[in-house]
Amino acid sequence: MNELDKIPVRQEISVADGSAKRSNPLANVFDELVRFCQSRSMFMLHYCTGCGAIELPPAMTSRFDMERLGIQPMVTPRQADILLITGYVSVKTLKRIILTYEQMPSPKYVIGICSCTVNGGMYWQSYATAKVLREYIPVDIYIAGCMPRPEAVISGLRDLMGDIRSGRADNWKRYFQNYDYYLGNQQKLFGEDWQTPTDIIAEAEHYGLMTDQTLGEHTALLQKHQQPLEALEFSLGEKREKIQGENR
């Protein structure tokens, strides 16, 4: 771990130009339509880590009915647009959050609910809690409060809708552009052999989001420790008997 501390973690946030317009006016109309539909149809994956989750059922059900705004719960990261993190993030759950976040198809948005995701909240002195969520994955919107009421949750979601519509909600690009920074913070918590099944660097290349911040000393560490992902071996009875025979 001492080795890791010597590597500095830097992030020079470049302000992304969300209002980049294409020269073809028809293409602009198309982009507007797509952004409008993206803002009006959000599938959310709620990673209910803490007490804030209790405010989501009233927001979804008959009292405040999120489906009015086109927001509905989805259960797998593959289908989701929003990752809701409701409450404190322990080191163990943070691993799962990062795995989930990396599996979501972009454009993807992260919402941190409750003060615990902002600065650790009442878990500030806890040794097992990751305090500032935005150091590990880019967060689009924070809804502060302990806990925020359903009105606040819906108001936050409406803010996100506005951001998507105007093209400002592009924080998912930042994860690719500043991967070294996020990975560095993750490595500080999980150790230098931390790796996920998703190849972020290859994805960044694919989307043309490589910057000089994408690769760095931390990604070099990652590549040093990376083991190729192999599919689990599919074995039927015969094979299992063989293995058991060998073990005997």
- Binding residues (CB under 8 A) for other proteins: these are 33-34, 36-38, 40-41, 61-62, 65, 67-68, 70, 74-76, 78-79, 81, 105-107, 203, 207, 231
* CB nearer other proteins, residue 35 or residue 131: 35
Single-letter code of the amino acid located at 95? K
Question: CB-wise, 3 or 17, nearer to other proteins?
Answer: 17
Query: What minimum distance in Å lies between the beta carbon of 186 and other proteins?
Result: 21
CB of 193 to other proteins, least distance (A): 26
Shortest reach from residue 37's CB to other proteins, in Å: 4
Smallest separation (angstroms) from other proteins to the CB of 19: 18
- CB count in 10 Å sphere of residue 7: 17
- Angstrom distance (rounded) from CA 42 to CA 49: 21
User: By C-beta, is 54 or 220 nearer to other proteins?
Assistant: 54
Residue 94 CB, nearest approach to other proteins (Å) = 21
CB of 225 to other proteins, least distance (A): 25
With beta carbons less than 8 A apart as the criterion, state whether 136 and 96 touch.
no
Of 66 and 221, which CB lies nearer to other proteins in the complex structure?
Answer: 66
What does the H/E/C string look like for the chain? CHHHHHCCCCCCCCCCCCCCCCCCHHHHHHHHHHHHHHHHCEEEEEECCCHHHHHHHHHHCCCCCHHHHCEEECCCHHHCCEEEEECCEEHHHHHHHHHHHHHCCCCCEEEEECHHHHHCHHHCCCCCEECCHHHCCCCCEEECCCCCCHHHHHHHHHHHHHHHHHCCCCHHHHHHHCHHHHHHHHHHHHCCCCCCCCCHHHHHHHHCCCCCCCCCHHHHHHHHHCCCCCCCCCCCHHHHHHHHHHHC
Closest CB 218 distance from other proteins, rounded Å: 23
Residue 74 vs 189, nearer CB to other proteins: 74
Closer Cβ to other proteins, 130 or 164, answer by number: 164
Nearer to other proteins, 67 or 205 (CB): 67
DSSP bridge partners of 44 = 73, 82
